[in-house]
């Protein structure tokens, strides 16, 4: 059974960089059938797409966040990561990592999510 687990600091100071890692178990991140993505959800609000990456390293970012986002992949560790720079309180959210299935063009697996609070 595929599992995705987010890890990283739960508290980040304003203007600093948010860094999260997603560890994939029960499947290979190098599969050509999937992309890997990050989605966030501010408290009490809906889902916002951040971006995604293919195992080859190709990345696709939400234009509204593109100037601040970097997603990378480490196939040797079966992990992919998110960096969001110059954070503000508006970046406070639950951050989910997810697997994107190409055959259905959909998210078929989600991590449990991790709450990141931006506060001094």
Partner 1 sequence: DVVMTQSPLSLPVTLGQPASISCRSSQSLVYSDGNTYLNWFQQRPGQSPRRLIYKVSNRDSGVPDRFSGSGSGTDFTLKISRVEAEDVGVYYCMQGTHWPPISSCFGQGTKLEIK
Q: How are beta strands 106-110 and 34-41 bridged, if at all?
A: unpaired
Q: What is the DSSP string of 24-86?
A: EESS-TT-TTEEEEEEEE-TTS--EEEEEEETTS-EEE-TTTTTTEEEEEETTTTEEEEEE-S
Q: Does 1 bind partner 1 (CB under 8 A)?
A: no
Q: Does 104 bind partner 1 (CB under 8 A)?
A: yes
Q: Does 95 bind partner 1 (CB under 8 A)?
A: no
Among 13, 14, 108, 115, binds partner 1 (CB under 8 A): 108
Residue number with CB closer to partner 1 (16 or 107): 107
| Window contacting partner 1 (CB under 8 A); options: 11-19, 24-32, 61-69, 75-83 | 61-69
Q: How are beta strands 34-41 and 93-101 bridged, if at all?
A: antiparallel
Q: Which residues bind partner 1 (CB under 8 A)?
A: 35, 37, 46-49, 51-52, 60-64, 96, 100, 102, 104-108, 110-113
């Amino acid at each position: 059974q595929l599992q995705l687990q987010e890890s990283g600091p739960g508290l980040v100071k304003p203007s600093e960089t948010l860094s999260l890692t997603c560890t994939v178990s029960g499947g290979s991140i190098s599969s050509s059938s999937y992309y890997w993505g990050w989605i966030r959800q501010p408290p009490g609000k809906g889902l916002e797409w951040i971006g995604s990456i293919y195992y080859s390293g190709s990345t696709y970012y939400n234009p509204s966040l593109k100037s601040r986002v970097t997603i990378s992949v480490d196939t040797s560790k079966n992990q992919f990561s998110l960096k969001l720079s110059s954070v503000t309180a508006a970046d406070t959210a639950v951050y989910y990592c997810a697997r994107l299935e190409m055959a259905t063009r959909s998210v078929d697996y989600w991590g449990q999510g991790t709450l990141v609070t931006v506060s001094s």
